[in-house]
Structure 1
Amino acid sequence: MSEPAAELPISDARDSLADVVSRAHYAGRITYVTRRGQRLAAIVPAEVAEAIERAEEATDVAAARDALARIEAGDRPIPLTELRTDLGL
C-alpha cells in the first residue's frame, strides 16, 4: 500500500531529494514539490509515470485510428497550413 501524497517546499526537496525519491520508489509516495504553496511538480513512483505514458500512447493510437477511419469514410483531411491558421500559429 502506498503512503499518502505529501507536499514539500522546493528548498526542502533539494536538501532531501534522495529520501523523497526513495519514498517514491519503495513506499509508493507521491510528493508534490511546491513554491510559495503552489504545486510545481511531482515526484512519483516510476510505475505511475510509465502507466500515464502508456495511457497517453493508447489515447494517441486510438485518435489516429479514428482519424484514419474518418478519412477512409470520406472526410477531408485538414491541410497543415489550414490547421495552423485555425490555431493561430
Structure 2
Amino acid sequence: MVKVEATAARNGFSDLINKVRYGSDRVLIERRGKDVAALISIEDLRLLEILEDQIDIEAARKALANPKNKVRVPLEQVKKRLGL
C-alpha cells in the first residue's frame, strides 16, 4: 500500500488515480501523520459493497429469527416516524 501526505496527494492526484486503476495499488492518504482517506480501485469498492451487503443480510436474518422481534410495524408508520 502506498502512503501519501494529503498535500502530495492533491498535487499528484492524477498519478495516484493511475496507480490505483492500472497498478492495482491502494493509496492511503495522511494528514499530519494520521490516516484520513484511501483511494481504492472500483473493483475493490464493488467487493467492499458486496461484503457490506452480506453483513447487512446476515444481521437482518438474525433480527428476523429473534422471537423478540415479532412485532411488525406498518411501513407508513415507519415513514412517519422517520419524517419521510
Note whether the superposition's TM-score is higher than 0.5. Answer: yes
Amino acid of the structure 1 residue aligned with 2:6: I
Q: How many residue pairs align between the two structures? A: 71
Partners of 2:21 and 2:11 in 1: how far apart? Answer: 18
Matched, 1:60 2:53: no
Correspondence for 1:75: 68
Partners of 2:26 and 2:50 in 1: how far apart? Answer: 19
Q: CA RMSD in A?
A: 1.5
Within-5 A mapping of 1:14-53: 14-53=10-49
Q: How much identity, in percent, do the aligned residues show?
A: 27
Change (3 A) 1:68 1:26: same
TM-score (norm 1): 0.73
Unaligned runs of 5+ in 2: 72-84
Correspondence for 1:9: 5
The structure 1 segments of at least 4 consecutive aligned residues displaced by more than 2 Å after TM superposition are 74-78
Amino acid of the structure 2 residue aligned with 1:44: I
TM-score (norm 2): 0.77
| TM superposition shift of 1:46 | 1.2
SS, match of residue 68 in structure 2: coil
